[in-house]
Amino acid sequence: MAGENKLYGVLAEFESPKDLLHACEKVREAGYQKWDAYSPFPVHGIEAAMGQKPSPLGWMSFIGAITGASLGMLMQWWMSAVDYPLVISGKPLFSWPAFIPITFELGVLFGALTAFLGMLLLNGLPRPYNPLFSSERFARVTDDRFFIAIEAADPKFRTAEAKDLLTKLGATHVELVEGQA
Amino acid sequence: MLTKNQAQEQQLQLSDPIDRRAPLILGNPSFNKITEDICRPIEGKTHVVWWLYFFMAASILSILGGALGHLIYNGTGIWGLNNPVGWAWDITNFVFWIGIGHAGTLISAILFLFRQKWRTSINRAAEAMTIFAVMCALIFPGVHVGRIWVAYYMLPLPNQMSMWPNFRSPLLWDVFAVNIYGTVSVIFWYMGLIPDLATIRDRAKGKIRQIIYGFLSVGWTGSARHWMNYEKATLILAGLSTPLVLSVHTIVSFDFATSVLPGWHTTIFPPYFVAGAVFSGFAMVATLLIVVRKAYDIEHIITIRHLENMAKIMTVTGSMVGYAYCLEFFIAWYSGNPYEIFIFKNRAFGPYWWAYWTMFTCNVVSPQLFWFKALRTSPVAIFIISIFVNIGMWFERFVIIATSLHRDFLPSSWFYFSPTIWDILTFAGSFGLFFTMFALFLRFVPMVAIAEVKSVLPQADPHFEGEMPKDDPSPAPARKAVAESEEEGDLMPATAVARQGAH
């Protein structure tokens, strides 16, 4: 493959959530933009340490739920009162209180689907290839190790500087990772 | 060796700083230890006991296949149904299974919103149970229509009559509620699995394993930016599942409550059904997990404290159910409606008195035994009582359905429903489906949420000041840790041995 040997970034390994959190603060203060922390479970307070913006997923899911509920009510109105009007139990054709349960359920369905698919979309998943997978040590990120990767694509990136910084921050192992971003 | 003082200090650090309760996970395990303990059953060779269990479950599943085949060929006449009892075991089984599912959602959604950290040890298995229970439940309304090849009439699809379903019918609400409940439960469960499937992927030795688990884990890296969206999605799904699960059993109860039949037409049904659902579901979770924690040697992850909490929830919901039973009688008397009074007298003292009192004893009396600490901390006692609750909750649905139907307004239409062998085999067969699915779950999917359990360990807190626990290479230290904690009455950290080859 072309670009196989291109530098992807510097990967540093840490032993505890505490070290990771501390290192994240410093990496952010050093002014890097394209970098990320990796951990086996969500580390409490890391969003603040990394300076992440809040996830927009809440709004997305809210819009999804409203859409689902509206479509649900619209569907029942159209089917019961427009396409095939049929009087049942002497009720009005558009007897909306009886349509609330299905409206609600469809709101939940669309909200849940948006939350799940939105999570994948915002995270750029599924992503079968990731240069980090070429690091043997990185396999422990889903077990008991914590990592920070500073990408070579960062405007401030200098290999030696990034390595120094991460070593100084208490990384137990620092390595270069190759591959396409 | 640690001195007594050091051990006490560590104990204080490990236990909750406010309530000083025992830690959620015993034996002060390292992160790696959790991974190892939970991955072991799905990575080693298939155990012969698993095969035995699987073949037994699959044999019972084949009974379901036979019973359903016979039903589809001959129609619902093979069941013991006759006017006026047009619904009996089929809908009893449906409500029974769907109710069982509710505990899984309660654990994964409602306890999540209440920040109950103990749920992390049991939520994966409970959610799996939810999905399998919904699968079992969906069979019954699907096949009880008789001509199942026109079951699609239940869906709003254009058909040859160009008619649409009646959206004013609670039975149609049920179709939507249960299907959406199943779908959202699968989404929630699968999303929770992604980080753990990535763990299996990263540990996989074989190529096929790597590909399958790699595909299912969608390239998860544990990135903090991903975790943020992921946690937000979990919160949203929990927030949506909470009203969803309450609505599902509410709508199931509407199947009865919106009719004008004495014994069904009551406003207490929705909360009463939801409480009963959670009650029966927790009983099933306890039944399953008491066996699983022993069989897979994860008693330090699913601890006595977890079982005790479940027992307490059973007592609470069991008491709610008991209150509802009594209130139904009060309202029947207070209403002054002679039909309503008749149906309740008939329920407790009529031809189905045996079913009513089985229900009452199992559901109202047996969970009260958990007021004794010795009983609610004994796995054997919880197991036995949970079986009683399972039986009682099946009878509750049978009592509600059969006793309200079998004595119609005209005594000339009175009927005593008895099941045929096909009623019994279909119900028994549904357990085959449930246990077969559960066997596959235990073998191929991490049965405890690895990432979530790690996140409630004391050292997962970035402000943890103690020393990180060392990896423990001994093969089955779980029993040791549990035994120690039980002997000492508190937690002694297991003697830690540094793993060879660690930095």
Same domain (yes/no): A65, A49: no
User: What sign results for the dihedral spanned by CA atoms B483, B489, B490, B493?
Assistant: negative
- On average, the pLDDT of chain A sits at 88
A50 contacts A91 by C-beta, under 8 angstroms: no
CB of A139 within 8 Å of a chain B CB? The answer is yes
Q: Is B259 on the interface with A (CB under 8 A)?
A: no
Cα–Cα distance between A53 and A80 in angstroms, integer?
45
Report pLDDT for A176: 85
Which of A86, A102, A123 finishes a domain?
Answer: A123
Percent of chain A with pLDDT over 90: 33
- Looking at the structure of chain A, the number of domains it has is 2
Q: What is the Cα B80 distance to its own chain's centre? A: 29
A141 and A114, same structural domain? Answer: no
Strands A7-14 and A146-151: antiparallel
CA distance B332 to B345: 9
Residues of chain B with Cβ-Cβ distance to A20 below 8 Å are 462
What's the domain range around A21? 7-53+131-178
Q: Does A40 touch chain B (CB under 8 A)?
A: yes
Q: In terms of domains, do A109 and A63 share one? A: yes
Using CB atoms, pick whichever of A102, A118, A139 lies closest to residue B176: A102
- Tens of pLDDT along A99-113? 999 999 999 999 999
With respect to residue A149, please indicate whether it lies within any of the assigned structural domains: yes
Which chain B residues in 103-162 lie under 8 Å from chain A, judged by CB atoms? 156, 162
**Residue B473 pLDDT grade (very low, low, confident, very high; cuts 50, 70, 90):** low
For residue B112, the Cα-to-chain-centroid distance in whole angstroms is: 15
Q: CA-to-CA distance for B122 and A76, rounded, in angstroms?
A: 39
Cα distances (angstroms) measured from residue B257 to each of B260, B273, B333: 8, 11, 18
Q: How confident is the model at residue B493 (pLDDT cuts 50, 70, 90)?
A: very low
At A103 the pLDDT is: 95
**Span B68-98, pLDDT tens digits:** 999 999 988 899 888 888 888 999 999 999 9
Q: What is the structure's pLDDT at B395?
A: 94
Question: Could you tell me if B244 lies within 8 Å of chain A, comparing CB atoms?
Answer: yes
Report pLDDT digits (tens) over A53-66: 888 999 999 999 99
Return the structure tokens found at B321: 């159910």
> What does the pLDDT look like over B100-115, one tens digit per residue?
988 888 888 888 888 8
Closest-CA distance of chain B to residue A137, Å: 10
Question: Is residue A1 in a domain?
Answer: no
B501 confidence band (pLDDT: 50, 70, 90): very low
Q: Say how many domains are in chain B.
A: 1
Indicate whether A62 and A115 sit together in one domain: yes
Q: Supply the range of the domain harboring residue B66.
A: 32-458+474-502
Residue A36 and residue A61 share a domain = no
Residue B464 is assigned to a structural domain of this protein: no
The closest CB to that of A36, out of B30, B168, B223, belongs to B223
In this structure, are A137 and A49 located in the same domain? yes
Nearest to B364 by CA among B393, B423, B333, B321: B321
Question: Sorting pLDDT into bands at 50, 70 and 90, what band is A181?
Answer: low
**Does some domain include residue B22?**
no
In a shared domain, residues A77 and A26: no
Mean pLDDT of chain B: 85
Residues A114 and A139 in one domain: no
The string of pLDDT tens digits covering residues B158-193 is: 878 888 888 999 999 999 999 999 999 999 999 999
Q: What is the pLDDT of residue B149?
A: 87
Residue B8: pLDDT band (50, 70, 90) is low
Alpha carbon of A164: minimum distance to chain B alpha carbons (Å): 20
Share of chain B above pLDDT 90, in %: 51
Evaluate whether residue A146 is within a structural domain: yes
**Is the separation of the CB atoms in B85 and B402 below 8 Å?**
yes
Verify whether the Cβ–Cβ distance A50 to B224 is below 8 Å: yes
Q: How far apart are CA B370 and CA B308, in angstroms?
A: 9
Q: Where are the alpha helices (DSSP H) in B379-466?
A: 379-398, 404-406, 421-444, 450-455
Q: Which residues of A touch B238 (CB under 8 A)?
A: none
Domain stops at, among A95, A123, A151 = A123
Residue B254 has pLDDT above 50, yes or no: yes
For residue B14, tell me if it sits in a domain. no
Q: Is residue B463 part of a domain?
A: no
Q: Is residue B360 part of a domain?
A: yes
Instruction: Give the closest of A43, A138, A142 to B199, CB-based.
Output: A142
Can you give the CATH number for the domain in which A40 is found? 3.30.70
In a domain, A38, yes or no: yes
- Residue B503 — very low, low, confident or very high, per pLDDT cuts 50/70/90? very low
Q: Would the CB atoms of B180 and A89 count as touching at under 8 Å?
A: no
Q: Which of A42, A126, A128 sits opposite B231 (nearest CB)?
A: A42
**Measured between alpha carbons, how far is B80 from B417 in angstroms, rounded to an integer?**
7
Which residues in chain A touch residue B221, judged by CB atoms under 8 angstroms apart? Answer: 38, 130, 132, 138, 141
Q: Nearest Cα to B424, choosing from B100, B26, B90?
A: B90
Q: State the Cα–Cα distance between residues B474 and B497, nearest whole angstrom.
A: 9
Residue A1 has pLDDT above 50, yes or no: no
Q: pLDDT digit string (tens) for B191-225? A: 999 999 999 998 888 888 889 998 999 989 989 88
Same domain (yes/no): A34, A76: no
Q: Which residues contact A104 (CB under 8 A, 6 or more apart)?
A: A69, A72, B243, B247
Does residue B11 lie within any of the structural domains? no
DSSP B363-398: IIIGGGGGGSHHHHT-HHHHHHHHHHHHHHHHHHHH
Q: What is the end-to-end Cα distance of chain B in Å, rounded?
A: 23
- A-chain CB neighbours of B224 within 8 Å are 24, 36-39, 42-43, 46-47, 50, 52
What predicted TM-score, i.e. pTM, was given to this entire model? Answer: 0.88
**ipTM of the assembly?**
0.92
CB-CB under 8 Å, B219 with A116: no
- Identify whether B465 is part of a domain: no
Output B124 or B484, whichever has higher pLDDT: B124
What is the arrangement of strands in the sheet containing A173-178, beginning at the earlier edge strand? Answer: A35-38, A146-151, A7-14, A173-178
DSSP string, B197-262: HHHHHHH--SHHHHHHHHHHTTT---BHHHHHHHHHHHHHHHHHHHHHHHHHHHHHHHHHHTS--T
Q: Report residue B29: phi and psi, to 5°.
A: -75, 155
Residue B8 included in any domain: no
- CA dist B81 and B60 (Å) reads 24
Residues A67 and A110 placed together within one structural domain of the fold = yes
Say which CATH number the domain at B232 has: 1.20.1630.10
Contact B447, B125 (CB under 8 A): yes
Flag whether A95 is in a domain: yes
